[in-house]
Amino acid sequence: MIGSLHHTNLVKLLGYCFENHEKLLVYEFLPNRSLNKVLFDPMGRKQLVWKRRFMIIEGICRGLLYLHRDSGKNIIHRDLKPENILLDRDMTPKIADFDLAKTFDIENTHENTEFVGGTFGYMAPELSRHRRFSTKSDVYSYGVMVLEILTGEKISEFEGSSHSMSLVDYVWQHWNAEAALAVVDPYMSNEYQRDEVVKCIQVGLLCVQSDPMKRPSMQEVLVMLHNNRDSLPVPSNPGYLSQHRIFTF
């Protein structure tokens, strides 16, 4: 399935080996490693000027839209996080690691699973609570990553950095108090358009709403990223405290 997927924002599978009980997947070489290595490294994130951060936000969106709708296979990734976003020489994001991916019937709004796979913090509340997943589960994970890209903060470590709330709630409180720019990563200095950054914060908050029906689709997110902020819906209170420790199943 992975070998049949072709998109600028998906990692390219070149081949595989299954010999003497050794299983190997061979992917294209991506010199900038993962988003996790760059975004949360004090030296690495200096490279992430606003233009590059927006390119990464948009690129992940396009890759997800391809998986959800345009691949013809209707795929839910189920483990989106910065570790699974690889960066090429030009910092173009590539979604990787499809170990937990599932195909779905486009006629169904959601499915249930006995196996809760994913990473807490990025896992949608309906998945961790009710074992229910859908494309909106990926949208939630995407929203968390958008907030991480904008703040430079890692959701699993945020509470330990003198904060008593989750990163999602922290951003929500500032946005709701009309002080959204106070959460922006200081490594970006002031070299960004304020309206664009606030718009992306609003998009991130729309994606992490606790009710999956209120979250936009990835197609809607792509439109929002290029529309005027005034045309965006108003997000509701996330109402869900993300887990702060990370476990991968």
- HEC secondary structure over 118-134: CECCCCCHHHHHHCEEC
In a domain, 243, yes or no: no
Reported as a pLDDT band with limits 50, 70 and 90, residue 248 is very low
pLDDT at residue 160 in the model: 46
Q: Which of 41, 79, 211, 230 is catalytic?
A: 79
Whether the pLDDT of residue 174 is over 50: the answer is: yes
pLDDT at residue 191 in the model: 82
Could you tell me the residue range of the domain that residue 43 belongs to? 2-231
Average pLDDT of 128-140? Answer: 81
- In this predicted model, what pLDDT tens digit does every residue of 189-202 receive, in sequence order? 778 889 999 999 99
HSE value, Cβ hemisphere, 13 Å, CA-based, for 232: 26
Q: What is the mean pLDDT of the chain?
A: 86
Whether the pLDDT of residue 112 is over 80: the answer is: no
In a domain, 240, yes or no: no
Q: Considering the chain, what percentage of its residues have pLDDT values greater than 70?
A: 86
pLDDT at residue 25 in the model: 87
Q: What is the pTM of this model?
A: 0.89
Reported as a pLDDT band with limits 50, 70 and 90, residue 223 is very high
CATH number at residue 29: 1.10.510.10
In a domain, 223, yes or no: yes
Average pLDDT of 175-183? Answer: 94
Weakest mean pLDDT among 24-28, 108-112, 214-218: 108-112
Average pLDDT of 97-103? Answer: 85
Eight-class DSSP state of 49? -
Contacts (Cβ under 8 Å, ≥6 apart) of 236:
209, 210, 211, 214
For residue 84, which amino acid is it? N
In a domain, 241, yes or no: no
In a domain, 197, yes or no: yes
Say how many residues make up the chain. 249
Beta strands in the chain (DSSP E): 13-19, 22-27, 75-76, 85-87, 93-95, 102-103, 111-112, 132-133
Average pLDDT of 222-243? Answer: 83
Whether the pLDDT of residue 107 is over 80: the answer is: no
Average pLDDT of 11-25? Answer: 89
Average pLDDT of 151-178? Answer: 84
In a domain, 248, yes or no: no
Reported as a pLDDT band with limits 50, 70 and 90, residue 239 is low
Q: Is 79 a catalytic residue?
A: yes
Return the sign of the alpha-carbon dihedral for residues 177, 155, 246, 29: positive
Q: What is the DSSP string of 107-166?
A: T-S-EE-SS--SBTTTS-HHHHHH-EE-HHHHHHHHHHHHHHHHH---TTTSTTTT-SS-
Whether the pLDDT of residue 133 is over 80: the answer is: no
In a domain, 50, yes or no: yes
In a domain, 236, yes or no: no
Q: How many structural domains is the chain composed of?
A: 1
